[in-house]
Structure 1
């Protein structure tokens, strides 16, 4: 139902129902706000050209904070593992002064401390249950791979070799997240640039629209039409550029991944997998409506 048919009766009802000075004041304020919204919706003044882009930028911000928290957790984990003493072999001297290899020294249960450190750092980030929700065995294998993760799960003693491998795997996790953060930075920059272009095109579109177009001169209507076409060309160029970026894939370091799978993950909680294209399509439809009104006004004067 059009806004002009649904909001106005509600405003009248609220004004009629108020009782008392304070009640009427509250109703008046609420009604004025509703009236402004109703008028804006009816005339198109509240058209938001970058609704999905704005939501996508917020999704990127949340993801960026989560990945940064994971990096900090991995660094804290490395710091704790580095302080652990690995188990090792020692030489003993028995009768006759012959040296033989004896029992292990160091912390025979050191791997338990590794597992505790992992739980208290990597698995303790605020978004863990929301984004992962995995058990310890599943998560550490996913993070470090079958080899290193399996060694942490299967052994009680922390050998020097496993300690080095665990630290190296955690540091690689930090590095890989650096590459991911670079990807998020590039995507944010592209979204902001596209959003600014959408805002500019929408502003120019609104500038050539208006009430009582038939009262404008033929020359002014022609100028408005030309300015609208220029705004459309600029918007089309922005959407074409975004299409090219999507087709090129998303870069992760030296690798490129399918854009659709990446965007479906990043923007799973918003209404559009491709926010720039979604907002751009809505804006093109609005430009079509404005063009129709201008054409109608021009035709009436021809």
Structure 2
């Protein structure tokens, strides 16, 4: 029996989703065991987490920043063969290792292959690097699959795994587990579906059937469906993309609340690193930008 231990920070609201994803993945791959925890479990049930980590084949972590938790984990995961750490404290991300791809003990920014392609994104502004990093993670596998070198293939698989994780949702997280099992644990999983994708940035409304890719397209739709709102003031709302993917109930409630107050809500969701892009490029006029 192969075991994956997943620990997600800042996402207690998604605990049930990850449990469902684990159940789905293990149904498709009975030889796989998945233990899913949140960062809260590191405090409330450390013995259970430690027991799961002992003998684990894969350690997967995301959004872990608490110093004490990071140090506690570093002492317990370094012997695990496959370690996948995304968007966490650098001390923990430095333990990332999958196949021949390693971030290293003393990372200086991104790995060289990542940095090379990342430099091709954005406009060179330092503030856009993280947004460019997200873009790279999304398209990187398509670019790297044409390079047969083993080391780059492991990097490509790292990107594919992150692609499923970043896409979010039960099916995507289950497929991510399947990708790890199939590519690195020598287990059978069946055909891997492509990620069910959601834009990294976009707008939404409970009455719309799809997401919007710009404020203009959203406001055009809004004025067509609610012509009486033409002269109402607008208010921007920044939302966390994972909350949108997991359909957190507060989102439509919040939008309706603004509408009842006589305002036009402009709900923009972001991954978390593109807040400045939304504010600068989507919510700021050219006149304001030159002030």
TM-score by length of 1: 0.24
Greater share of strand residues, 1 or 2?
A: 2
Q: Which has the larger radius of gyration?
A: 1
Higher relative contact order (CA 8 A, sep 6+): 1
Greater share of helix residues, 1 or 2?
A: 1
TM-score by length of 2: 0.25
